[in-house]
Structure formats: C-alpha cells, structure tokens
Amino acid sequence: MTPGDLKKELHHYLTEWPETRFMEPLIADMNGILRGKRVGVDEMGKAFGGGVNMCAATTILDSLGNTFEGIPYGYRDGDPDARAMAVPGSLAPVPWATSPTAQVLLEMKNLDGSRYENDPRNVLRRALQPLAEFGLMPVMALELEFYLVEHDGTRFRPRMPRIPGSDLPQGGMQYSVMEDLYEVDDFMTDLDAFCRAQNIPAGAALSEFSPGQFEVNLHHVDDPVLACDHAVLLKRAIKAAAAKNGLAATFMAKPFAETAGCGLHIHVSVLDEKGDNIFAGQSKDGAFSDQLRYAIGGLGNAMAESMAVFAPNANSFRRHAPGNFVPASPNWGPNHRGVALRIPLSGPKNRRFEHRVAGADANPYLVVAAVLAGIHHGISTRCEPREMTPERAELEYRADVPIRWPLALDAFDQGKILPAYFGKDYHELFSMCRREEEANFNADIPTKDFEWYLRAV
C-alpha cells in the first residue's frame, strides 16, 4: 500500500467518524506490549504519509519499559528517532474511550525508508521469508487464555463465580460451564462489541480449567503478521472490557499458584502455491503427510532454544509444572492435550498441528517467528521427529527442555536455528534484554527469603 492509499484510508475513516477527537498510535515492543500515545487527530496525518518520528528504542524495551545495557538506541547515543508508519487496515475506533478516539498500529522503518529490523513485526516477516521462498503460506489461528481478577483488600484473586442468590464464591473447577459465562455476561458482551468495532476476528469463548479463567479463540488467517496483530489487539480489548466492568484481566502465565496457568496456543497449517494443504496425506505415523512430520521434527529440534521466547519472564516458568497440560518435552501426537505439538481431529483439508508450549505472556510475533523457524528448518532438512505419542497414552512428566529462566537463556544463546531466522543482531538484543531483566528481578530480596531463612540459618 502506498502513502497515497494510506491517506485515503485516513480520509475515509474520518468521513465515517467525523466526531473523532483523538488518535492512539500503537506499536508492539520486544515483549508484545503495545506502547503509544494519544494525539489530536489533526496530528496523525504524518503516520499515513511519509511517517512520524518515534523513539527507535520503543520496540526494544524490557517489561517495565526500561532500556538495557548494549542497546543500540538509548541514553548513550542520544536516543535517536526512527520513522513510524501506519499499518494498512489497522485504523479503528476505540469504543471504550470516553472521548471519540481512534487507534492505529504502527510499524517502524529506518530514516532511509528501509525495514527497521528491531520491530517484532519485521522479525516475524524475516522468519516467514524462507517459507515464502518455498512457495508456502502458513495459515494460523491463535488462542489466548487469561484470568479475570479482583482485589479482596489484601491480594488479587480470580474473579470467582457466585452461588446463585448470594454473593458467596462458587468453589471448585467447572470447565466450560455456561453459568460461568453468564456471570461475566456484561464483560463478554462488551468484548464482543469491542472486537466487532475493531475488526478483531474473535470466535469462541469458554470458561477454562480454573475459576475466573477464560479462553478466546481467533479465526484462522493466511497472514501470520496479521494473526499476531489480532492477538495483541485482542489482549488490549480484553483488558479494556474488564476495566469497564470493574475487573482486571491478566495474561500472566501463572498468576496463582493453586490454579492452572495461561497459554498461547497456535494452530498452524501450511498451503502450497495451489492452495493445497501440504499437511494432508498419509505417512507411516497416520493420516497426515511426511511434510507435517518433518515440520514437527524441526519444531522439536528448535524447542529448547525457543523456550526463552515461549517463556520470556520470571513468572512464565511458574506455569511449567506437572499436571497442568503444560508440556516440557518436544513430544507430539494426535488428539492428545498432554503433548507439545498436538494434531487435532480434522479432515484432510484442515490438517494442522497445535503448538501448546508458549505462555499467554509471550510476544505473539516472536513466538510465531520461532514456530515458523522450526517448520522451515524441519521441512528443508527433512527432519525426522521423535517417536509419536499415541492417542490416550499416559505420559510421565519430564523436562527435556529448559524450564528455568537462566537455563532457557543459555539454550537460546547456544541455539543454532533461531539466529538465522531472527537475525543475528536481534537475537543478541533479545538475549541482552532478557538477561538484564532476569538479573534485575533476582536482585530483589523477596519476603520468602525471610520466611524461610531469617531464623533457620
């Protein structure tokens, strides 16, 4: 799309929504956090033309919004600007704003107009390119789990459903119970309205395995970057709908020790230039092609070094524990939610795998980039997967990939697959950011240190 087309998009929007007073330009950082600002609508023309100046470090901040040692843009070099452009088709109203407001996603470019490689959207584009050169098109849908939480005056807790006729919490786990959805019907209704207004293709919503936990599924699209745009915008809409209803929504991987964690699950099929699903067919392992087997083999080989992407912070690794359908091994098989790479029930046209490793707190763009890297690596090298897990097999929990933060970062640094897909410079930047955040997190002395050791030692 040319700058002229972008200007037409802006003009069309303002014609349809002439009362618009403000606009919120948004860009995803290394953590998948949307960062932006609110400006008067008359100031946004540049983003739909030649670009608007924006701090180049915006996309490479840590979880708290800090720069880190080794960053190429920061306080040491004067924190220079790059140029941000509107993402075509992302201009939409912000229905929860009190004043008429629009939002638009941005993507970063260098001042000479070339691709800014530290934008997560561009990292994903780089990882997608090898498959595109094979004439292959991934089709995918993302699923996000989250908690609605409230504060009881002492601590945050899941928003428990109520016993009918009272304000007493309903105890116990009730997976996929409609009454739990009725309990938060105002939230769900607002979320549906927000998604419709912003063209976010949200589908099924269900109550999950723990009180106050829910999942929302996105529809399949044939553009991985767009699929991730949908995911980050869905997270923003969910948080806004929760706030409107006096709640908070969290995508922390493990917000509560006694309940299930939150995952980011990705369903992936791959089409050839004719539009045929290359995963359809028959192989020695079942009703799926050798191409699917090779893709799974590549994903298995890349999984250990990808764990720092799938579980990017301290809380992420609390999710990795036995008994929670959170795999810690590159196992795979049909119709089995205990494996990392599940082949769901489907016909040949929809043959796909579900990647079940990442937490809901992970950056969708980087998670999908790592998944595409594994797929291409597997197909291009005809990588044989490990032995398939049969349907209904009983699995013992074993950690064949690193499930502690420093070990995951070591595996990431030593990885041989991801650097070629992420780009060597971005691969190093990601590691530096996560290592500094890990050091800063562990520099604090938590209360448990005193509870366990103050008197005992």
Can you give the CATH number for the domain in which 48 is found? Answer: 3.10.20.70
pLDDT attached to residue 164: 64
Identify the domain containing residue 89 by its residue range: 3-114
Q: What pLDDT, on the 0 to 100 scale, is given for residue 77?
A: 62
Q: Is the pLDDT of residue 178 over 80?
A: no
Say yes or no: 98 and 132 in one domain.
Answer: no
pLDDT for 184: 84
Distances from the Cα of 124 to the Cα of 74, 228, 373, angstroms: 24, 9, 10
Please indicate, yes or no, whether residues 290 and 318 belong to a single structural domain of this protein. yes
What is the distance, to the nearest Å, from the Cα of residue 41 to the centroid of all Cα atoms in its chain?
29
List the structure tokens of 43.
Answer: 């100031």
pTM: 0.94
Q: Do residues 247 and 103 share a domain?
A: no
Residues 230 and 369 in one domain: yes
Residue 452 lies in a domain: no
More confident residue, 400 or 184: 400
Give percent of the chain above pLDDT 90: 75
Are the C-beta atoms of residues 281 and 339 closer than 8 Å to each other? no
Looking at the structure, tell me whether residues 36 and 176 fall in a common domain.
no
Question: Does residue 132 lie in a domain region?
Answer: yes
pLDDT band at 321 (very low <50, low <70, confident <90, very high): confident
Conformation bin of residue 299: beta by default, left when phi > 0, alpha when psi is -120 to 50: alpha
Indicate the number of domains in the chain: 2
pLDDT surpasses 90 at 252: yes
C-alpha–C-alpha distance, residues 237 and 244, integer Å = 11
- CB-based contacts of 413-419 (< 8 A; 24+ apart in sequence): 414/305, 415/302, 415/304, 415/305, 415/306, 416/305, 417/298, 417/301, 417/302, 417/305, 417/373, 417/374, 417/377, 418/302, 418/305, 418/306, 418/309, 418/370, 418/373
Instruction: Give the pLDDT band of residue 449 (cuts 50, 70, 90).
Output: very high
